A and B are shown apart, each in its own frame.
Chain A
Amino acid sequence: MSIQVSKLPHANQKHVDRKIIKLAIMAVGGQGGGVLTNWIEKCASSNGYAVQATSVAGVAQRTGATIYYIEMLQTGIEKPVFALMPSAGDVDILIASEMAEAGRAIVRGFVTPERTTLIASTHRILAVAEKSVPGDGIMPTEEVETSAKAAAKRLINFDMEKIAVETGSVISASLYGALAGSKTLPFSRESFEAAIRSSDYGVEASLSAFSVAFEHVEKQEIKPTKEASQRVTPTYKAIGNAKLVADWQVLEAEVEKLPGVVQPTALLGLRKVVDFQDTKYGHTYLNRLVHITEYDDSTTEYRLSREAAKQIANAMAYDDVIRVADLKTRGERMIRIKQELGTNWNNGLKITEFLHPRAEEIVGMLPTKIGSFIEKRSGWMKLITRIFSKRLLVRTDTLKGFLLLYFLGGLRNFRRRSFRYSFEQTHINKWLSSALAYIPNDYELAVGVIRARRLIKGYADTHARGSSKYDRVLAGINLLSGRRDAFHWLQRLEESAMKDEHANNLNETLKKIRSVELL
């Protein structure tokens, strides 16, 4: 028997110039990548192209990173052989549905300077790994942007998610619009739109997202717009009651006496504490800050003072029941919520607050003496815990719920006499004096102590965990005092304290510091 070779269409001159267009979509499950793939496929096929799409279905795709892949070729009756998945260095158009996926495409070699048009939305969908770190775990996109510029033959990069949200559509439509607008596929705008029109639902919204994105690409090509604007520190003007404004101006004048580099932060801090309590509290803030600046000078660019201006304000504007109730009953909050929800004033709105104060928070509201009396007695604390064992669902759109929180927010005038207030002030004073104790020998450690206050945040258990981390970091800093490698260890200490929920890393670092000390 002889081998019979299967017949294939013969290559002729006509085919030589033709090239398969290879398009990959890197998306996150649930973004509508399948819909986008269908549109592109339909559009190509209506233009007489042979086209093949592949995708991965199933559980692996649920909210995870996934790739859709399309190949197309202008062709007659003969069928080209299309690949099932993209190869590094062999992609003409890469659509990335958010910035980290663009990064993933670059890492995998799907974006190359000779041929790839990269169409990427600049927004981010944060992965669990980024969101669950206690500190700021968001991976920076600047490097992805730099790489994208270097790696792509052409880069089309703007916030397509925003366009989708604004037009009431989903990102697949604006990505499709950007693809059409890029003119990398030899199809008319009408044929792109025709594919959307053949969808079952959401046609109008999809078309409008499509057209906004389409035109955005055209505009961007003519005059590249700079999207990333530098974040300017806003300037504020106090308004309201004349006497209060006058008080504020006195405070402002005080701020102007501070070193220039400290002033902007001091002003923000001042605003925060005045908003939290009153102008008198603002004086307390400034007194504390001025005291710090006396230990500081321009050779260190007032780093200690600048950090203190921020941290003291945050520490003084601590989160208690009064503040939460106050913030939840302000008029500007309602305006913000309505804006965020995109609802108009004709619609009604019910707002339910999920509250569950612990005994500590309740006791914190009591007058100092009573509070400290109860706090030391576990039986009393247990009783209070039992009384408040049920969470409170408060409807702040109803008068009853609103008045409850309004009343609690009104306790602001009583705050100075509360147990929590005296506790916090003592803590702040202790913190500041322990920081100043490191000056002048260990300036960096003093800054470290000031910065460590950042660890104390949140409510209830989180607050307790943060406080204990803070205590341990301070103990660690104490061990470092006078050591030559203090700065190096301080950084490690801060990093491990920030990134770890259960402080395992922190304990490890502390252990290391102790063992090194023994040597």
Chain B
Amino acid sequence: MAERSFSKEVQKLKLGEGELFTGEGILAITKALLECGVGYVGGYQGAPISHLMDVLADAEEILADLDVRFEANASESAAASMLSASVHYPIRGAVTFKGPVGVNVASDALANLSSSGVTGGALIIIGEDYGEGSSIMQERSHAFAMKSQLWMLDPRPNLPSIVNAVEQGFLLSEATNTPVMLMLGIRSCHVTGSFKTQNNKRPTLSVQDASAEPRKSFSRVVLPPMSFIQEQDKIKNRWPAAQSYIQKNRLNEFFGPSNSSIGIVLQGGMYNNLIRALQRLNLSDLYGNTKIPLYVLNVAYPLINNEFLEFCNDKDAVLVIEQGQPEFIEQAFGSMLFRADSKTKLYGKDLLPMAGEYTGDILMTGVTAFLKKTAPQLLPVKNSKSFSQEKYKSFPELSGNVPPRPPGFCIGCPERPIFSAMKLVEQELGSHQITGDIGCHLFASLPPFEIGGSTMGYGLGPASNAAFDGGGEKRSISILGDGGFWHNGLSSSIGNAVFNNSDSVIVIIDNFSSAATGGQDIPSSRSENTSKSTNHPIAKAVKGVGVNWVREINNTYKVEQIRKTLNEALTTKFKGPKVIIASSECMLNRQRREKPLIARSIRAQRRIEKTLFGVDPDICTGDYACIRLSGCPSLTLKKADDPLKDDPVASIDQNCVGCGNCGEVASSAMLCPSFYRADIIVNPSKFERFWLKLRQHVICWLQTNRQRHRLSFEEYTP
């Protein structure tokens, strides 16, 4: 079960002709797909388009009603492969995954797909994880469009433009026999807004009907000599067709006055933030009526030579706003101008930063610099609206008061105790060569754990330790999540470790879902999924590929057990890969499931127990060894009541979910006795209440008795 349920929102997908849709970008895209008569959809989750997968999963019934096939693909590569259905059949298909890492994984299939070419429209919706809020390396998916000759749409970030891009994407794909990427930025995926809907359309040919009458043609197979012919076809036919379609249907847009000595060319995705920068410079009104001509590239690839040259025709200077590096678009424009012997001067990365996200501030600075050089008369006389850092220098310097706050394990995360145990093992046996993988468990590489120093890709944790797996004085350890395991890890990491007799330790962290991307189900999920087959144990798969040393820990909160198992794995004489599978449900998922049930039980006067943890402040000495082995957001500090204590003491706040890691760690590492677990019994039975009271009375009597032999101190105001 995914983190966010869209079961209510997906009802909006049923809206008909002329109605108004209001909601998030990802839902709007889904609606647009249905309006375009898509025949099949799929993808692989990953921020920022995880929720698109959740929407599709929650809309499965609606999709099925329209004969649309939904597949939760095994990986991005699998998703891109699914688009092969559009190679021979005139069926529209769409898949989604994140960019550029998802595109990396998918690139093999994408390259083949692009070479073959498509008959039905093939759309790849990319959530480009670039800039603030991103969790991956900063690169561009753009390069893949260039190398495989597939087209890339980068629409203006508002719902009508995005919806239009879906429709145009299919048409462009069909007009040019080429798959089309539709790229959305991090914040565009979740931008809210509204658009006028149309009726949903059934696919003209459903996948069921298509498979009843199979088609094939070896001209589409990527093998010589067809592969050579296909390359020529891309350049001689598909590319010119794309240019002419884009131009004819005006996919790129022009705004602002038709005659001016300067102009700005920008990727569609940059439009809103650029308009804001222009608004702040008094060069645009609130609705985007600008005083500077804009050429908006809703199609980032291919570029349209004559459209661009015509835009430059009467201009002395043009600024290219292109986020990310290298500056593919700017280079292409430079070459166009050079070949056309143009006098127009080209600005871009010389005024704007080469690397990093183009925020509103950066765009404003860049545009200001451009205007200073080319049209200073346009700049406001006194730039009163702009923020000047100088003015605020009188504030105390605050950067020392603002701690870095990177993402980390949630409260009660079942992965935390695994790394607490690993840290304890490290204290015992020394440090080891450890690699991480993609997933929440990668947070272990940050303080306070600092476990693992690399991550090479999804499911590649164990594979990336291959060089160290020949054995030696100390065994290498690698981490793999359940998501990564099914994505790619089973074959690339586990199977091959068996094949190479690798003397390594592999820890598979199983939280019953693809947790980092929002808790989607995967084959080993323990939930009952009505449309997917779950409950396929990882252990069975691991043993199936030939691992003979497998230990399963079905409660990751047992720090001591994990520590012992790790210790055994690192010291056993057994040769070959040693796999530890540590399983406990993602706490976010578990809380979502259990919280309403508990609330209902309390209301119904049923007896339940609620577990919380606490710290005795007078026993805590304030050295925080517990925190360094946990990092739980709920385990925090507070000022000590004892005025003689210099340092704050540990304290557990009310967000505690009672996972028990802190108590386990404190006793396992013999830290200190200040932790206690409190199980509150709500609605105890009458007999139980009587018994509890009786016990309490005896204890109270003993306490009073002892107190009589010592002094008490009472606060008073003299």
- A residues 116-156 touching B (CB-CB < 8 Å): 125-136, 138-141, 143-144, 146-147, 150-151
- B residues 167-189 touching A (CB-CB < 8 Å): 185-189
Contacting residue for B713 out of A53, A55, A136, A271, CB 8 A: A271
| Chain A residue at minimal CB-CB distance from B665 | A354
Chain A interface residue number, banded: 35 or more
- A residues 312-363 touching B (CB-CB < 8 Å): 313-314, 319, 324, 327-331, 333, 337, 340-343, 346-358
Of A104-112, A367-375, A423-431, the one with at least 4 CB within 8 A of chain B: A104-112
- Give chain B residues whose Cβ lies under 8 Å from the Cβ of A466: 623
A387 at the interface (CB under 8 A from B): no
Known: A147-B395, A244-B711. A349 touches B679 (CB 8 A): yes
B246 at the interface (CB under 8 A from A): no
B516 at the interface (CB under 8 A from A): yes
| Residue contact B276 to A87, C-beta cutoff 8 Å | yes
- Give chain A residues whose Cβ lies under 8 Å from the Cβ of B677: 350-352, 354
Least Cβ–Cβ distance between B378 and chain A, in angstroms: 17
Known: A141-B401, A272-B644. A90 touches B663 (CB 8 A): no
| Residue contact A313 to B408, C-beta cutoff 8 Å | no
| Residue contact A239 to B703, C-beta cutoff 8 Å | no
Of A62-70, A188-196, A291-299, the one with at least 4 CB within 8 A of chain B: A62-70
| Residue contact B668 to A57, C-beta cutoff 8 Å | no
Least Cβ–Cβ distance between A199 and chain B, in angstroms: 12
A507 at the interface (CB under 8 A from B): no
B406 at the interface (CB under 8 A from A): yes
Over the window 230-255 of chain A, the binary record of Cβ atoms lying under 8 Å from chain B Cβ atoms (1 yes, 0 no) is 00011111111100110010000000
| Residue contact A83 to B360, C-beta cutoff 8 Å | yes
- Give chain B residues whose Cβ lies under 8 Å from the Cβ of A29: 407
Which of B360, B410, B618, B692 gathers most chain A CB within 10 Å? B618
| Residue contact A356 to B443, C-beta cutoff 8 Å | no
Over the window 663-687 of chain B, the binary record of Cβ atoms lying under 8 Å from chain A Cβ atoms (1 yes, 0 no) is 1101111111101111111111000
Contacting residue for A139 out of B256, B276, B394, B401, CB 8 A: B401
| Residue contact B273 to A84, C-beta cutoff 8 Å | yes
Known: A5-B254, A80-B287, A81-B272. A62 touches B410 (CB 8 A): yes
**Docked CA distance A355–B392 (Å):** 53
A397 at the interface (CB under 8 A from B): yes
**Docked CA distance A285–B280 (Å):** 69
B440 at the interface (CB under 8 A from A): yes
Known: A348-B681, A459-B621. A64 touches B50 (CB 8 A): no
Least Cβ–Cβ distance between B94 and chain A, in angstroms: 20
| Residue contact B643 to A233, C-beta cutoff 8 Å | yes
- Give chain B residues whose Cβ lies under 8 Å from the Cβ of A234: 643, 715
| Residue contact A62 to B407, C-beta cutoff 8 Å | yes
- Give chain A residues whose Cβ lies under 8 Å from the Cβ of B193: 52
| Residue contact B614 to A90, C-beta cutoff 8 Å | no
B144 at the interface (CB under 8 A from A): no
| Residue contact A458 to B625, C-beta cutoff 8 Å | yes
Known: A140-B401, A399-B695. A240 touches B689 (CB 8 A): no
**Docked CA distance A333–B285 (Å):** 65
| Residue contact A15 to B287, C-beta cutoff 8 Å | yes
**Docked CA distance A100–B402 (Å):** 5
A227 at the interface (CB under 8 A from B): no
Least Cβ–Cβ distance between B624 and chain A, in angstroms: 6
Contacting residue for A81 out of B185, B254, B276, B410, CB 8 A: B276
| Chain A residue at minimal CB-CB distance from B647 | A136
B332 at the interface (CB under 8 A from A): no
A462 at the interface (CB under 8 A from B): yes
Of A6-14, A178-186, A435-443, the one with at least 4 CB within 8 A of chain B: A6-14
Known: A84-B272, A272-B642. A28 touches B405 (CB 8 A): yes
B253 at the interface (CB under 8 A from A): yes
Contacting residue for A236 out of B406, B664, B713, CB 8 A: B713
| Chain A residue at minimal CB-CB distance from B560 | A391
| Residue contact A59 to B407, C-beta cutoff 8 Å | yes
- Give chain A residues whose Cβ lies under 8 Å from the Cβ of B280: 87, 90
| Residue contact B255 to A6, C-beta cutoff 8 Å | yes
| Residue contact A89 to B387, C-beta cutoff 8 Å | yes
| Chain A residue at minimal CB-CB distance from B636 | A126
| Residue contact A151 to B190, C-beta cutoff 8 Å | no
| Residue contact B135 to A238, C-beta cutoff 8 Å | no
Least Cβ–Cβ distance between A245 and chain B, in angstroms: 7
| Residue contact A64 to B408, C-beta cutoff 8 Å | yes
B702 at the interface (CB under 8 A from A): yes
Least Cβ–Cβ distance between A462 and chain B, in angstroms: 5
| Residue contact A56 to B644, C-beta cutoff 8 Å | no
| Residue contact B619 to A5, C-beta cutoff 8 Å | no
Over the window 452-475 of chain A, the binary record of Cβ atoms lying under 8 Å from chain B Cβ atoms (1 yes, 0 no) is 001001111110001000000000
Contacting residue for B285 out of A6, A15, A351, CB 8 A: A15
- Give chain B residues whose Cβ lies under 8 Å from the Cβ of A300: none
A88 at the interface (CB under 8 A from B): yes
Least Cβ–Cβ distance between B287 and chain A, in angstroms: 5
Of B106-114, B204-212, B545-553, B627-635, the one with at least 4 CB within 8 A of chain A: B627-635
A215 at the interface (CB under 8 A from B): no
A404 at the interface (CB under 8 A from B): no
| Residue contact A5 to B255, C-beta cutoff 8 Å | yes
Least Cβ–Cβ distance between A165 and chain B, in angstroms: 6
**Docked CA distance A237–B647 (Å):** 26
- Give chain A residues whose Cβ lies under 8 Å from the Cβ of B401: 100, 103, 139-141, 143-144
A177 at the interface (CB under 8 A from B): no
**Docked CA distance A228–B279 (Å):** 42
Contacting residue for A59 out of B47, B310, B676, CB 8 A: B47
Contacting residue for A103 out of B254, B398, B624, CB 8 A: B398
| Residue contact B616 to A328, C-beta cutoff 8 Å | yes
| Residue contact A331 to B703, C-beta cutoff 8 Å | yes
**Docked CA distance A151–B393 (Å):** 11
Over the window 293-323 of chain B, the binary record of Cβ atoms lying under 8 Å from chain A Cβ atoms (1 yes, 0 no) is 0000000000000110011000000000000
| Residue contact B360 to A136, C-beta cutoff 8 Å | no
A268 at the interface (CB under 8 A from B): yes
- A residues 24-78 touching B (CB-CB < 8 Å): 28-30, 41, 45, 51-67, 69, 73, 78
B147 at the interface (CB under 8 A from A): no
| Residue contact A57 to B670, C-beta cutoff 8 Å | no
| Residue contact B680 to A331, C-beta cutoff 8 Å | no
B517 at the interface (CB under 8 A from A): yes
| Residue contact A352 to B614, C-beta cutoff 8 Å | no
- Give chain B residues whose Cβ lies under 8 Å from the Cβ of A329: 702-703, 706
| Residue contact A3 to B395, C-beta cutoff 8 Å | no
Known: A84-B191, A128-B448, A134-B623. A56 touches B48 (CB 8 A): yes
Which of B158, B247, B392, B679 gathers most chain A CB within 10 Å? B392
| Residue contact A88 to B411, C-beta cutoff 8 Å | no
**Docked CA distance A52–B23 (Å):** 10
- B residues 186-203 touching A (CB-CB < 8 Å): 186-193
| Residue contact A84 to B692, C-beta cutoff 8 Å | no
Least Cβ–Cβ distance between A357 and chain B, in angstroms: 8
- B residues 47-94 touching A (CB-CB < 8 Å): 47-48, 50-51
Which of A201, A233, A459 gathers most chain B CB within 10 Å? A459
B389 at the interface (CB under 8 A from A): yes
| Chain A residue at minimal CB-CB distance from B273 | A83
Over the window 377-405 of chain B, the binary record of Cβ atoms lying under 8 Å from chain A Cβ atoms (1 yes, 0 no) is 00000000111110010111011111111
| Residue contact B288 to A8, C-beta cutoff 8 Å | yes
**Docked CA distance A5–B255 (Å):** 5
| Residue contact B628 to A132, C-beta cutoff 8 Å | yes
Closest 10 CB pairs of A and B: A89-B387, A58-B47, A87-B360, A56-B133, A348-B681, A64-B407, A127-B403, A83-B276, A457-B621, A391-B667
Given A131-B637, A136-B647, A244-B710, 15 more contacts at CB 8 Å? A5-B256, A41-B192, A54-B187, A56-B187, A60-B407, A80-B286, A81-B272, A90-B360, A104-B402, A127-B405, A141-B401, A235-B718, A238-B711, A399-B695, A410-B706
14 pairs, CB–CB < 8 Å, chain A vs chain B: A58-B50, A63-B410, A65-B405, A81-B275, A107-B399, A131-B635, A134-B624, A141-B401, A146-B396, A147-B398, A165-B654, A341-B680, A356-B668, A356-B670
